[in-house]
Structure 1
Amino acid sequence: MTTQSLGLHSMELLVTYSRNPSLKLRNHLVEINAGLVRQVAHRISRQCSEPYEDLEQIGYLGLIRAIERFNPHQGCAFSSFAIPYIRGEMLHYLRDRGSIMRIPRRWQELYAKGKKLKKQLGMSLGHPPKEKEVAKALGISLQEWSECQLALQNRLLVSLDATVAQVNEGCLTFGETLPDPHCLTQRYWEEERLHLQKAMSQLEDKTKAAIECVFIKDLPRKEAAKEIGISPMTVTRHLQKGIEQLGLLMNPQAA
């Protein structure tokens, strides 16, 4: 599959996910867009002491949050939307661990020189210079200048209101990329609910009906027995059997 067709396929799945979220589809979207995480992890791992593998794992949390928040109808490319979330998750992780950034001396010198050049170019051009103009004046690529700035800026405390990306409706701040405990809790229970639904679908019909009547509808066992068409004793046996099966389906390690 070409890059273009892969992008179209990903967008189609994102549209489907926005209409009907599911754990299976979200995990598939993570697999398709894993390259974004690897790209950001590779860049940041060159500037800090944390292993690439750790940054990659943390980056997937940012990718998941981007998938859950992305609105495919805004006309924004998903990669442009997701990278700030992935990068923000990694930077948050690094700040929590107090990781010491390894800044090459050459980059320190380039950063200082670049700041001076920005002022000089601003005066000569009559407007703030673009980053590619600064990079050209320094005689380096735009990518290296971006990485140089990223490395030096990450040594400083960053305001939660600092802009990390431009989106259609305005600016995305660093604070907005940080994990929300309430959202994380909601996500956890949503995943558990989907996991339970999948496990319930694998039960026998009467076992599933017994669990739904007693634990979801909160019916007494006699009423549950009438609704299902079996005896109360059989309801009890189905409940015991169903609970054991759900325990094994939802926690395979227990098997």
Structure 2
Amino acid sequence: MTDHSTLIAPRAHSRRGHDSYDGIEPSIAELADLTPGSREHSRLREEIQHRCLPLADHIARRYTGRGEQYEDLYQVACLGLVAAIDRFDPARGTPFTAFAVPTIMGEVRRYFRDHGWAVRVPRRTKEIQLTLAPAVEALCHRLTRMPTAVEIAVELGVDLLEVTQAMLAANGYTSDSLDTSVHESDSDFALSVADTYGTVDPSYQLTEEALTIAPLLDELPPRERLILHLRFFGGQTQAQIAERLGVSQMQISRILSRTLTQLREQALTTAE
């Protein structure tokens, strides 16, 4: 098996114009006549691959800016290029680029469909999303303006709702951590995204405590439950409660203290 590591190693600069793949068909025809695995076959195959690298580079750059690194897209495009070279039949008389371009683009689109999403998106939506850019580009040239969602749906022959979902799905390519600062520089301090979204709602803790204490209150004797209700929900003082029940304020104080201690211990036991 031929080692493609040198072929698909990405470079920092563009490869367009470095090697021409025009008129590559005779070389591929010659390759088809050689014995696979032979030294001459491997040499010519690698030469063809390097001549066609600008094609893989062009397609990889076309798909940049969609949440995936150029180097990764170039690797995938090069694998598609290798597949196109191996499967191309020069006897058909078609230009190599007419076969290679859809083959490479198909490989890149499959990569986006299977790996290029930060959140789960239905496969049907992924496939439609990948056709949006070419459709919009074609419609812009034809209409001399940006097309509407309805026009895009008609162009693609799909439902308007599916087009809308595919447009929204573009946001699913990447996701950022809420702990990420809006500034990348260590010397330039800034709050994280999470810090800008406000504070923790204290009502959550209040709700948890209410859910815990409610069944414990139901188990109290009627008098203790009434005293707690008058004190904490009725807003009455210990003296007012004592007068209402015909007891001393000291008795109300002792009942409240004993009841609250009992509820606290029971609540802690329940939490454990």
Instruction: Please report the TM-score for the alignment, with normalisation by the length of structure 1.
Output: 0.34
Larger radius of gyration, structure 1 or 2?
2
The TM-score normalised by the length of structure 2 is: 0.33
**Larger relative contact order, structure 1 or 2 (CA cutoff 8 Å, min sep 6):** 1
Judging by fraction of residues, say which structure has more helix: 1
